Structure 1
């Protein structure tokens, strides 16, 4: 199983990046690989309509370390853990998403990587153009 780390440096404080990226209400604005529709809360679980179908998402509890790890339970019942971190960077913050190949073909792994790259680029654009 291979892993890839996709990251973007964002000209904003780590605290601002964490606050925006960890807020489920903001997911449709930047995480098209996960959802483009409003998030429904069911306790501490989120239910979202994703490109993969309806999935549930459980995020790590709020923390001061920039950890936004989240487990996504797919329609098949398989749960995928997605490590996501916001790190301090000399130019602001760096957000790092780890993608694991697991049962994916090479083409699917490449497709998922490209989707994460687009999502992180959109996050960067949103945070760098906010007033």
Structure 2
């Protein structure tokens, strides 16, 4: 299994980036690779319609360290852990997303990397008003 880190510097404070990105109701507005419609809450569980089908998403608890790790349970039952960090950067914040090649051939892994890159670009545009 391979892993790649995709990052994006956003010209906004780390707190602003974390607050927006950690709000699950904002996912459909920037994370199209995960959420293509509103988040559905069923008890403590969160479900989204994604390019992979209906998936369950579980985020770590809100924290002051900029950690946005989340598990995605795929329709196959496989759980993919996605490490995500919002880090302080001299120009604002840097979001680092680790993409892992789980159940993906090389072409699908490349598409996942491109999707995450596009999602982080969309997050940047949402937070800096460059839409």
What TM-score range do you get, normalising by the shorter chain?
Answer: over 0.9
Partners in 1 of 2:42 and 2:63 — Cα distance? 21
- Equivalent residue for 2:64? 64
Could you say which residue in structure 2 is the equivalent of 1:33? Answer: 33
Scaled by the length of structure 2, the TM-score of the pair is 0.96
- What TM-score results when the alignment is normalised by the length of structure 1? 0.96
1:48-97 deviations in whole A, cap 9, x for unaligned?
Answer: 11111110000000000000000000111111000010000000000000
Counterpart residue number, 1:50 = 50
For 1:44 and 1:60, the matched residues in 2 are separated by: 13
**Structure 1 segment 1-131 matched on structure 2, within 5 A:** 1-129=1-129
- CA–CA distance in structure 2, aligned partners of residues 100 and 94 of structure 1: 19
What is the aligned length? Answer: 130
Any stretches of 5+ residues in structure 2 without a counterpart?
Answer: none
Report the secondary structure of 1:95's partner residue.
strand
Q: Secondary structure at the match of 2:102?
A: coil
Q: CA RMSD in A?
A: 1.0
Residue 2 of structure 1 and its aligned partner are, at CA, apart by 1.1
Runs of 4+ in structure 1 deviating by more than 3 angstroms, as ranges, are: none
Secondary structure in structure 2 of the residue aligned to 1:8: strand
